Amino acid sequence: MSEPPGLTIRRAHTGDAGLLAELGARTFAETFARDNSPEDMAAYLDASFNLAQQLAELADPASTLLIAEVGGAPVGLVVDSIGDRLETMLRPAAGILKTVNGISGTTVLGDGSVVMVLDLEALIE
């Protein structure tokens, strides 16, 4: 099974620290700016998404950071772990998940755990 056309996924490296800082700050601001004062947002963004912080996270062996690109547009992902590639049946998103942009659906793994499947193209939009 190959990646969809125009999609590449790779591990992030130290050369990606600036990109990850920018993506993280932009995504956090887009999500939480309306609920926080400009001063609080600026302080949090400066502390959490600076180059030194991203380099520390990239150097942490417990962290797995990925860069995904769809049509050349980058998206940073932080994941718990990277497993094997699996062929599964996708159950379309239903209920409240149906209203969440970027979720294609869910699948059930062999051990019975449920995993959300992301739609990276929708996340980029």
Query: Residue 17: how many CB atoms within 10 A of its CB?
Result: 21
Place of tokens 């049509």: 71
Q: Mean pLDDT in the chain?
A: 83
Q: In the predicted model, is pLDDT for residue 1 greater than 50?
A: no
| 3-class secondary structure per residue, the chain | CCCCCCEEEEECCHHHHHHHHHHHHHHHHHHHHHHCCHHHHHHHHHHHCCHHHHHHHHHCCCCEEEEEEECCEEEEEEECCCCCCCCCCCEECCHHHHHCCCEEEEEECCCCCEEEEECHHHHHC
Domains of the chain and CATH, by start: 1-81 (3.40.630.30), 86-125 (no CATH)
4 pLDDT exceeds 60? Answer: no
Query: Pick from 118, 94, 124, 121: which is nearest to 104 by CA?
Result: 118
120: number of Cβ within 10 Å: 19
pTM above 0.85, yes or no: no
Q: What is the pLDDT of residues 24-79, one digit of tens each?
A: 898 889 889 999 999 999 999 999 999 999 999 999 988 888 888 877 788 766 66
User: To 5 degrees, how large is the angle CA 116–CA 12–CA 71?
Assistant: 70
Share of the chain above pLDDT 70, in %: 86
